[in-house]
């Protein structure tokens, strides 16, 4: 009899978790989506340039590492030189440029 209760509890938990899934699908409308031109410019121009900025920032971070270690600000240097350009390159939604750097 206890197996039946455990099975019912597990099924109820799965049903409760699945009931919340449609809420994640509700988001922005099609009017909020970026245009095809914005997406194309992002893929062809902005992403490659921001990838170059990420690689250059990584090089600058390595060069500045002894100085930032002495100044005890390696976290801030890594954030500004590597993480921000990296997020702009890889995490930002395609074609969205507004407030892209403020997402931390």
DSSP string across 46-63? IHHHHHHHHHHHHHHHHH
Location of structure tokens 């507004």: 98
pLDDT tens-place string over residues 3-51: 665 655 555 555 555 555 444 444 556 667 889 999 999 999 999 999 9
pLDDT confidence of residue 11: 55
Kindly state the average pLDDT of the residues 67-80: 96
* pLDDT higher than 80, residue 1: no
Instruction: Report the mean per-residue pLDDT for the chain.
Output: 80
**pTM for the predicted model, two decimal places:** 0.63
Query: Quick count: other Cβ atoms within 10 Å of Cβ 100?
Result: 15
Domain spans of the chain? 36-104
């Amino acid at each position: 009899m206890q197996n039946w209760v455990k099975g019912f509890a597990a099924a109820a938990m799965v049903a409760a978790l699945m009931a919340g899934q449609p809420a994640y699908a509700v988001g922005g409308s099609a009017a909020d989506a970026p245009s095809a031109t914005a997406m194309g410019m992002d893929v062809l121009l902005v992403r490659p340039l921001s990838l170059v900025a990420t690689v250059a920032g990584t090089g600058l971070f390595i060069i500045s590492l002894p100085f930032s270690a002495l100044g005890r600000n390696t976290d801030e240097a890594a954030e500004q030189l590597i993480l921000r350009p990296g997020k702009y390159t890889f995490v930002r939604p395609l074609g969205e440029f507004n407030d892209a750097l403020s997402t931390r």
